[in-house]
Amino acid sequence: MRIEDALRLAQESDLDLVEVAAQARPPVCKLMDYGKFKYESAQKARESRRNQQLTVIKEQKLRPKIDKHDYETKRGHVRRFLEGGNKVKVTIMFRGREQSRPELGYRLLQRLAEDIGDIAVVEAAPKQDGRNMTMVLAPTKKPGKKPAAAEAAPAEAAAAEG
């Protein structure tokens, strides 16, 4: 259809002629109420922003020589953060001679990952970076599905070895 005919048709029906695909040959146009279209697209954008979830990363700091009760308290904090739907960055801080024994921190992080394996997955494995060792834990999407398989694999490996 010619442009003049399309414009006349749009004026008669009290709508706007909007070019939909300019690169197509011939260009594709559509008759619509452009103000209403802009308003509806803004409403959809606002609604999608409202439904977005902000990812919050909580941090829990430990030391390699942590006492049993202190460890249990920190583990409880990590569990509470994960149940709240937040990711948790666990940091082990090494001081002085502790820096020569990074395996202590690694074992502590592994123990923590096993203890809360029912509600979390390790998103970033333990990694030494300067005086600190960090690990990121994320809550599981469906509690009970993945942890059962994760707990069964180490148990089977231990049974095969022993």
CATH superfamily of 57-143: Translation initiation factor 3 (IF-3), C-terminal domain (3.30.110.10)
Pairing of strands 87-93, 120-129: unpaired
Range 136-156 average pLDDT: 59
Banded pLDDT at 43 (limits 50, 70, 90): very high
Tell me what pLDDT residue 22 has.
Answer: 81
CATH superfamily of 1-35: Translation initiation factor 3 (IF-3), N-terminal domain (3.10.20.80)
Tell me what pLDDT residue 137 has.
Answer: 93
Tell me what pLDDT residue 142 has.
Answer: 54
pTM, two decimal places: 0.56
Tell me what pLDDT residue 154 has.
Answer: 52
| pLDDT at residue 151 is higher than 70 | no
